[in-house]
Structure 1
Amino acid sequence: MAAGARLLDLVPLLEADCRVQVVVTVPHEGQAWHGLEEFVRASGILAMPWQQAVHHDWDLVLTASHRHIDQVHGKVLVLPHGAGAARSRTLSRKGGAVRPTTGLDRDLLTYRGRLIPSVLALSHHAELDILRQTCPEAEAVAVIAGDICLDRMMQSLRFRDQYRAALGLEDGQQLVTVSSTWSTDSTFGTHTGLYTRLLDEIAQRETVGPSGDRVAAVIHPAVWAAHGRWQVRSWLAPARRAGLLLVPPDAGWRAVMIASDVVVGDHGSTTAYAAAIGRPVCLAAVPHDVLRPNSIADTLAGRAPRLDHSQPLLPQLRDAVHCAAEVSSAISSRMGYAADELRAAMYRLLELDLPPWPPHTAPVPLPRPSEWR
Structure 2
Amino acid sequence: MKHLVIIGLVIPEPASTAAGHRMMQLIHVFSEADYKITFLTASNNIEFSEKIEIQKIEINNESFDEKIRNLNPDVVLFDRYVTEEQFGWRVFDNCPNAVKIIDTEDLHFLREARRKAFVEKRIVEKADFINDVFVREIASILRCDLSLIISEFEYDLLVDEFKINPDLLFYIPFLTDHFEKSKIPFEERKHFVSIGNFLHEPNWQTVLNLKQIWKSIKKKLPEAELHIYGAYTSQKVLELHNEKDGFLVKGRADSVKEIFNQAKVLLAPIPFGAGLKGKLWESMKFGLPNVTSTIGAEAMHKDLPWNGFIEDSDEAFVEKAVDLYQNENLWNKAQENGYRILDSVYKKDLFADFFINKVSELMENLDNYRTENYLGKILQHHQLNSTKYMSRWIEEKNKK
TM-score, normalisation: structure 2: 0.55
Are residue 76 (structure 1) and residue 103 (structure 2) matched? no
CA contact (8 A) 1:280 1:323 kept: yes
Match of residue 145, structure 1, among 169, 172, 189:
172
**Higher share of residues assigned helix:** 2
Q: Take 1:330 and 1:87, find their aligned partners in 2: how far apart are those partners?
A: 25
CA contact (8 A) 2:290 2:307 kept: no
CA contact (8 A) 2:148 2:169 kept: yes
Match of residue 149, structure 2, among 111, 122, 145:
122
Deviations 1:296-344 (A, max 9, x none): 5999799524554998997454478739769986998564423333444
Deviation of 1:188 (Å): 1.1
Q: What is the letter of the counterpart of residue 48 of structure 1?
A: K
Deviation of 1:8 (Å): 1.6
CA RMSD of aligned residues (A): 5.4
| Identical residues among aligned pairs (%) | 10
CA contact (8 A) 2:307 2:338 kept: no
Deviation of 1:108 (Å): 0.8
Listed as ranges, the gaps of 5+ residues in structure 2 are 1-12, 92-97, 365-400
Deviation of 1:22 (Å): 2.0
Alignment of structure 1 residues 259-274 onto 2, 5 Å: 260-267=263-270, 269-270=277-278, 272-273=280-281
Are residue 189 (structure 1) and residue 208 (structure 2) matched? yes
Does 1 or 2 have the higher relative contact order (CA < 8 Å, sep 6+)? 1
TM-score, normalisation: structure 1: 0.58
Q: Take 2:110 and 2:340, find their aligned partners in 1: how far apart are those partners?
A: 16
CA contact (8 A) 1:78 1:117 kept: yes
Deviation of 1:23 (Å): 1.6
Q: Per the alignment, in what secondary structure is the counterpart of residue 137 of structure 2? A: helix
Deviation of 1:25 (Å): 0.8
Judged with a 3 Å threshold, the aligned counterparts in structure 2 of structure 1 residues 311 and 198 are, in CA distance, closer, same or farther, namely closer
Listed as ranges, the gaps of 5+ residues in structure 1 are 206-212, 352-373
Aligned residues: 307
Are residue 100 (structure 1) and residue 128 (structure 2) matched? yes
Deviations 1:80-115 (A, max 9, x none): 536x99957853559x9996239995641315xx82
Match of residue 339, structure 1, among 352, 356, 364:
352
Q: Take 2:308 and 2:246, find their aligned partners in 1: how far apart are those partners?
A: 33
Match of residue 77, structure 2, among 33, 38, 62:
62
Judged with a 3 Å threshold, the aligned counterparts in structure 2 of structure 1 residues 115 and 240 are, in CA distance, closer, same or farther, namely farther
Alignment of structure 1 residues 207-218 onto 2, 5 Å: 215-218=226-229
Q: Per the alignment, in what secondary structure is the counterpart of residue 101 of structure 2? A: strand
Are residue 156 (structure 1) and residue 159 (structure 2) matched? no
Larger Rg: 2
Judged with a 3 Å threshold, the aligned counterparts in structure 2 of structure 1 residues 335 and 76 are, in CA distance, closer, same or farther, namely same
Q: What is the letter of the counterpart of residue 290 of structure 2?
A: V
CA contact (8 A) 2:194 2:266 kept: yes
Deviations 1:243-282 (A, max 9, x none): 9583627x44466446643111123614542565564322
Q: Per the alignment, in what secondary structure is the counterpart of residue 23 of structure 1? A: strand
Judged with a 3 Å threshold, the aligned counterparts in structure 2 of structure 1 residues 200 and 76 are, in CA distance, closer, same or farther, namely farther
Deviation of 1:69 (Å): 1.6
Q: Take 1:102 and 1:341, find their aligned partners in 2: how far apart are those partners?
A: 32
Judged with a 3 Å threshold, the aligned counterparts in structure 2 of structure 1 residues 7 and 292 are, in CA distance, closer, same or farther, namely closer
CA contact (8 A) 2:148 2:171 kept: yes
